Amino acid sequence: MKERLQKVIAAAHGVSRRAAETLIAEGRVKVNGRIAELGSSADPERDKIEVGGKRLENRPKKTYVALYKPRGYVTTLSDEKGRKNVTELVSDIHTRLFPVGRLDMDSEGLLLLTNDGDWANLVSHPSHGVEKSYLVTVAGDAKAAVREMSKGMDLFEEDGSLAFHASPARAVVRDQYEDGGRILVTLTEGHNREVRRMCEACGLKVRRLVRVAVGGVTVAGIRTGGWRFLTEEEVRMLSGRKKKAPEKRKENA
């Protein structure tokens, strides 16, 4: 069945559709010996698709993984500084995967990886309302910070310009210490370093930040640096897709 060429390439290579479109625009993609154009369609089962002179293999099996990212790993697929990449932790799967969303180098916890671009977009886009929960160990007045986070706040760049408005978060103090505490913060947005910036704006110093859940999937049972495959039910749940009801059998008249 014919599909948009950029979708076929994204699925097979584990890249975004935008990156696939760039490959097509640069003339690096051929279909049946002819240079492809943006907007082209192809059948990966029948057409000969080449990217950079190499035959595109039939689309790989869609794979969905829950990883406990340790501190010190980056989630970008290419890093000019040569830092450790999360894909190194799933290299034994032998399928090219990419992270769903981001988790900064100094943070740890649940990170989803897949080779299904459509599913990744559903899970990561704020409009789909997938909740992400973080357990943050802080120094400072945790109770006062929770009140501020629950109202929403403007967050600023170092030069004083507005970075973005953080919508009200669901935040509760889980543990109270003499000089700080642990806060559970749940939100649906995905701004860069949003939780850290919210804490800093409230006068808190972040000592540890762990993403403990995405939707109904948690890090429970996954060791640091370890991973597991998502179940079919978890894949459907995170994307908002409902399980198809079995077709009713037609009775003979």
pLDDT in tens, 5-42: 988 887 676 566 788 899 999 999 999 999 999 989 99
pLDDT higher at 186 or 127 = 186
Q: Where exactly are the structural domains of the chain?
A: 3-55, 64-235
108, 72, 101, 68 alpha-carbon torsion, rounded to 10°: -40
Q: Same CATH fold, 64-235 and 3-55?
A: no
Question: pTM of this prediction?
Answer: 0.74
Report, at the CATH architecture level, how domain 3-55 is classified: Roll (3.10)
For residue 111, the number of C-alpha atoms closer than 13 Å in the C-beta half-sphere is 30
The pLDDT-based confidence of 142 (bands split at 50, 70, 90) is very high
| Annotated catalytic residue within 43, 92, 104, 106 | 104
Rounded mean pLDDT, 183-188: 95
Query: CATH top-level class for 64-235?
Result: alpha beta
Of 140, 138, 66, 70, whose CA–CA distance to 107 is shortest?
70
Residues 172, 113 contacting (CB under 8 angstroms): no
The pLDDT-based confidence of 44 (bands split at 50, 70, 90) is confident
Mean of all residue pLDDT scores within the chain: 88
Residues whose CB is less than 8 angstroms from the CB of residue 127 and which lie 6 or more positions away in sequence, other chains included: none
104 carries an active-site annotation: yes
